[in-house]
Amino acid sequence: MERNGGHYTDKTRVLDIKPLRTLRPVFPSGNQAPPFVCAPPFGPFPPGFSSFYPFSSSQANQHTPDLNQAQYPPQHQQPQNPPPVYQQQPPQHASEPSLVTPLRSFRSPDVSNGNAELEGSTVKRRIPKKRPIARPENMNFESGINVADRENGNRELVLSVLMRFDALRRRFAQLEDAKEAVSGIIKRPDLKSGSTCMGRGVRTNTKKRPGIVPGVEIGDVFFFRFEMCLVGLHSPSMAGIDYLVVKGETEEEPIATSIVSSGYYDNDEGNPDVLIYTGQGGNADKDKQSSDQKLERGNLALEKSLRRDSAVRVIRGLKEASHNAKIYIYDGLYEIKESWVEKGKSGHNTFKYKLVRAPGQPPAFASWTAIQKWKTGVPSRQGLILPDMTSGVESIPVSLVNEVDTDNGPAYFTYSTTVKYSESFKLMQPSFGCDCANLCKPGNLDCHCIRKNGGDFPYTGNGILVSRKPMIYECSPSCPCSTCKNKVTQMGVKVRLEVFKTANRGWGLRSWDAIRAGSFICIYVGEAKDKSKVQQTMANDDYTFDTTNVYNPFKWNYEPGLADEDACEEMSEESEIPLPLIISAKNVGNVARFMNHSCSPNVFWQPVSYENNSQLFVHVAFFAISHIPPMTELTYDYGVSRPSGTQNGNPLYGKRKCFCGSAYCRGSFG
DNA sequence: GGAGTATCACGACG
DNA sequence: CCGTCGTGATACTC
């Protein structure tokens, strides 16, 4: 999938489906350019949001090239002002205890939160302390985004704004689920987070413009209207047509900048490059009958854009049947070809606009439509080796695909969905379940499982992880809560994955479905061992997960200062695992063994413990860092192995050369 | 019991 | 400062 200079014009070949966001940037200089896997949510970060990776100031001035918009129209200038680095970190060294001390079990357990029953157990855990945020600090909350960057964004800023919005949204959703909200209920966490970000300046591209929006790429996916609002792709929080008033020849007139197709009426059988769009207005309301649409506002703007041959951005709203979620895909620029009036369902006049996608843009919506066809099996996925490499072990099939060479599959291994614990692995302890009937109610502090999580329910109602934590405690089969939502990582893979052959990094993993930030992807399955009891050589194998590696810290959780709630707390995002765990997936494993390393990953791992055969085990669970467009390779940070002995403060280098191609690539890993 | 439908509460921008 | 634009989650129906 990393063939350089792929053709974007031949829409008839299902074969040529690219990820919605191209993997490889088109650099003018040709093929020495590194592949670009997924732009990281690196800086600029506000105070409290550390940059994803340590980088020097010279690196900090680099910009991720605006990828797949480079060809059409001619790319705008890169932003003149590099985004500021708010919290520049020195390179992390092995000598830093926070990084090289995987075992925190010596820390005295905090029994102040009613966790006394855990004392003396093998797994000692620290319950994050509630730390109310001082008011004055809240009042002075700074988004850290300066005026220029707020007007004209860039890729890093766009990703950072989206991350911060969603972190806050998840937190509001969690508070709402628990009915803990300080000031009333939060029925719409997306609106609450969105308006908070708006008000606090966590936004970019506020200067409204037609055409390209700096930092937003064709194929980017969104799950909320507000996300498009915050990054300047489409500013109305509800309306489908965004427009700008410009000076015309005689008077001011509106021209359209972007439209969001709801996906319900705007269907055009067959050709994904054509959109028949319905104008706005005229719908029945609670105190209004439906009526004829008028040629004003957005409708007028589209009409004027048609006259001026002014292209508009199109965002396709889609209903993803698989996980019952509506998503929005930015599908690039379209030209308005014609308009007419038509009787709508209610019998009133509606405006119709025919839009045709500008040529030369990477596919986005077209890829999505092709994927929907693969799901039906006709035509079958091109390059398909196996329709389900799990042989039905996973509830959703995992395709095995090779479109780059003649390799017909990875070396033999046994596919399993459960971790195998070796005899020597003595993390076993009696498990304390809860006694909630049917389901554990968020906010119910009588539930042992919720108390183990520091009082918070770790997931939102639809199974999205709210915050990274040293450890997540899930309910277990022995808990009576049969329908409980606190079992997310035990329910198996929920997205439609495929294992595919990469150009230069062996086999990789990606998804046919768009993945929401915080979604569970899979656990790392393999033979788990206590690292202190195995020879060093085992850790050097491919297909091994090692919790004792040194991992770059990054901030994913909400900012308490932004949330501005007394109930918000600062908590550690560093994993805290009671034993040095190493999992070998060489002989037995699941899809996780195919996930490649990246220095700018889109997936992170999180320790999760739950019971298995009446004993508590630690699992490594993977979650999406940000929204991941379909067909984008899934990658996580493998970290760097920590050789025995002291490091004397020298930086660590991985044993394997990195081909992740990120602008912030560290060169090696593992 | 999964797909359609009702209901509810909300924000930006012109 | 008020009207215009639907949305997203959930409870409900069939």
The pLDDT tens digits for A182-204 are 455 788 999 999 999 999 999 99
Strand C within 7 A of A296 CB: yes
Residues 316-355 of A with CB under 7 A from strand C: 317, 325-326
Whether A392 is in a domain gets the answer no
Residue A444 has a CB neighbour count (10 Å cut-off) of 16
Looking at per-residue pLDDT, the higher value among A135 and A582 belongs to A582
Using a 7 A cutoff on CB, list residues near strand B: A 184-185, 187-188, 191-192, 194-195, 198-199, 206, 208, 229, 235-239, 244-245, 321, 324
Check whether A468 has a pLDDT greater than 60. yes
- The confidence score (pLDDT) of residue A150 equals 92
Whether A412 is in a domain gets the answer no
CATH number, domain of A66, equals: 2.30.280.10
Residue position matching structure tokens 């698989």? A322
- Find the nucleotide nearest A262 (Cα to C1′): C6
Check whether A169 has a pLDDT greater than 90. yes
Whether A370 is in a domain gets the answer yes
| Separation between the CA of A188 and the C1’ of B9 (whole angstroms) | 8
Q: Where are the beta strands (DSSP E) in A224-324?
A: 241-247, 252-261, 274-278, 312-320
Confidence class for position A426, pLDDT limits 50, 70, 90:
low
Whether A191 is in a domain gets the answer yes
Strand C within 7 A of A260 CB: yes
Lowest-confidence range among A52-56, A159-163, A663-667? A52-56
Residues A138/A564, Cβ–Cβ less than 8 Å: yes
Confidence class for position A85, pLDDT limits 50, 70, 90:
very low
Whether A532 is in a domain gets the answer no
Q: Taking the C1' atom of B9, which residue's CA lies nearest?
A: A187
**pLDDT digit string (tens) for A501-533?**
999 999 999 999 999 999 999 999 999 988 877
**pLDDT digit string (tens) for A192-240?**
999 999 999 999 999 999 999 999 999 999 999 999 999 999 999 999 9
Q: Is A29 helix (H, G, I), strand (E, B) or coil?
A: coil
Domain count, chain A: 1
Cis peptide before A47 (omega within 30 of 0): no
What mean pLDDT is reported for chain A? 78
In strand C, the nucleotides that come within 7 Å of a protein beta carbon are: 4-10
Residue A501 has a CB neighbour count (10 Å cut-off) of 22
Check whether A435 has a pLDDT greater than 70. yes
Kindly tell me the burial class for residue A188, based on how many C-beta atoms sit within 10 Å of its own C-beta (0-12, 13-18, 19 or more). middle
Residues 190-229 of A with CB under 7 A from strand C: 190, 223-225
| Separation between the CA of A495 and the C1’ of B1 (whole angstroms) | 21
**pLDDT digit string (tens) for A582-608?**
999 999 999 999 999 999 999 999 999
Lowest-confidence range among A99-108, A388-397, A571-580, A589-598? A99-108
- The confidence score (pLDDT) of residue A329 equals 96
Which structural domain range is residue A304 located in? 14-90+134-376
Whether A540 is in a domain gets the answer no
Whether A203 is in a domain gets the answer yes
| Residue A64 identity | T
Tokens of A183: 């000031």
Whether A240 is in a domain gets the answer yes
d(Cα A215, Cα A232) in Å, to the nearest integer?
Answer: 10
Lowest-confidence range among A17-26, A309-318, A590-599? A17-26
| A598 contact partners, CB below 8 Å, separation of at least 6 | A37, A38, A633, A635, A636, A637, A660, A662
Cis peptide before A73 (omega within 30 of 0): yes
Check whether A565 has a pLDDT greater than 80. no
- Find the nucleotide nearest A208 (Cα to C1′): B13
